């Protein structure tokens, strides 16, 4: 059976002549992605660089997908972090893609350069994931809940609420002193640890803002 199949596919006359009219060059990238996808084993776990996804935590406004991930580098397998994969449309041309990456990475770099502070979630790394067509922001994996969750559950005392406000203000002040503006201070972007310490996250809103401005600029050109 295998020999017959090999003989059949080896004979170019078995192929419908109309198929030769298709310009395969226009479909090379799509074919490559399809082949790579089919070549992965069924138990393949999603990866971004040296990080393997443990759990998908959610998607925010079609801007990024957040994951809990673990390091797969030898000797560092116990290290965990949160990843935010900020996607760029795979069908845009190379020039637009490069510009989109530049704008997003500039915003992320501003956050990455921010000195460490107790009331700001630490950024560990920023890198491009070519396979996933995205830029990936790596932050510390902290335990706790968002302020929105605690507000809904009404689990904070008056004194704890005051402490949260003070923590948030300290984090904002630190960022402003280093030229970084958050742009989106909302309960979802304030993380509360089990010790009731508040930590600011969501600085990627700066990247979202830049991307929106880029889109508006592109629309104005049309």
Last residue of a domain, one of 142, 172, 193: 142
What per-residue confidence (pLDDT) applies to 35? 60
What per-residue confidence (pLDDT) applies to 219? 43
**pLDDT tens figures, 41-56:** 555 778 888 899 999 9
135 and 98 in one domain? yes
23 and 75 in one domain? no
205: Cβ contacts below 8 Å, ≥ 6 apart: 182, 183, 184, 189
Position 155 in a domain: no
CATH number at residue 67: 3.30.200.20
117 and 67 in one domain? yes
Average pLDDT, the chain: 77
**pLDDT tens figures, 184-222:** 899 999 999 999 999 998 876 654 444 455 554 444 443
What per-residue confidence (pLDDT) applies to 95? 80
129 and 94 in one domain? yes
What per-residue confidence (pLDDT) applies to 222? 39
What per-residue confidence (pLDDT) applies to 63? 74
What per-residue confidence (pLDDT) applies to 221? 42
129 and 62 in one domain? yes
Last residue of a domain, one of 116, 142, 168: 142
Structure tokens at 90: 């795979």
**pLDDT tens figures, 21-80:** 666 666 666 666 666 555 555 557 788 888 999 999 888 766 788 899 999 887 777 789
**pLDDT tens figures, 171-182:** 999 999 998 888
Q: Is 196 left (phi over 0), alpha (psi -120 to 50) or beta?
A: left
8 Å CB contact between 81 and 141: yes
11 and 59 in one domain? no
What per-residue confidence (pLDDT) applies to 27? 63
Number of folded domains that form the chain: 2
8 Å CB contact between 85 and 138: no
64 and 34 in one domain? no
Segment 95-111 mean pLDDT: 75
Segment 98-110 mean pLDDT: 74
107: Cβ contacts below 8 Å, ≥ 6 apart: 204, 206, 207, 209, 210
Last residue of a domain, one of 119, 142, 165: 142
Position 74 in a domain: yes
Q: Evaluate if residue 112 carries a pLDDT over 50.
A: yes
Position 21 in a domain: yes
56 and 124 in one domain? yes
56 and 31 in one domain? no
Give percent of the chain above pLDDT 70: 67
What per-residue confidence (pLDDT) applies to 217? 45
What per-residue confidence (pLDDT) applies to 3? 61
Position 104 in a domain: yes
57 and 98 in one domain? yes
135 and 100 in one domain? yes
Q: Mapped to the 3 state alphabet, what secondary structure does the chain carry? A: CHHHHHHHHHCHHHCCHHHHHCCHHHHHHHHHHHHHHHHCCCCCCCEECCEEEEEEEEEECCCEEEEEEEECCCCCCCCEEEEEEEECCCCCCHHHHHHHHHHHHHHHHHHHCCCCCCCECCEEEEEEECCCCEEEEEEECCCCEEHHHHHHHCCCCHHHHHHHHHHHHHHHHHHHHCCCCCCCCCHHHEEECCCCCEEECCCCHHHHHHHHHHHHHHHHHC
Supply the range of the domain harboring residue 71. 47-142
Position 7 in a domain: yes
């Amino acid at each position: 059976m295998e020999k017959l199949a090999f003989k059949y596919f080896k004979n170019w006359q078995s192929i419908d002549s109309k198929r030769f009219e298709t310009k395969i060059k226009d479909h090379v990238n799509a074919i490559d992605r399809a082949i790579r996808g089919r070549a992965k084993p069924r138990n393949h776990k999603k990866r971004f660089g040296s990080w393997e996804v443990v759990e998908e935590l959610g998607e925010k406004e079609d801007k990024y997908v957040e994951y809990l991930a673990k390091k797969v580098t030898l000797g560092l397998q116990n290290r965990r972090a949160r990843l935010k994969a900020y996607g760029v449309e795979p069908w845009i041309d190379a020039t637009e893609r490069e510009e989109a990456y530049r704008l997003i990475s500039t915003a992320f770099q501003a956050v990455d350069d921010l000195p460490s502070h107790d009331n700001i979630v630490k950024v560990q790394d920023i890198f491009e994931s070519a396979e996933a067509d995205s830029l990936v922001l790596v932050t510390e994996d902290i335990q706790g809940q968002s302020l929105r969750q605690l507000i809904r559950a009404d689990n904070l005392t008056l004194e704890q609420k005051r402490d949260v406000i003070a923590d948030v203000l300290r984090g904002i002040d630190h960022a402003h002193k280093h030229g970084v503006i958050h742009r989106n201070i909302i309960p979802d972007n304030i993380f509360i640890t089990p010790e009731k310490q508040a930590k600011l996250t969501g600085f990627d809103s700066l990247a979202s803002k830049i991307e929106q401005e880029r889109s508006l600029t592109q629309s104005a050109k049309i």
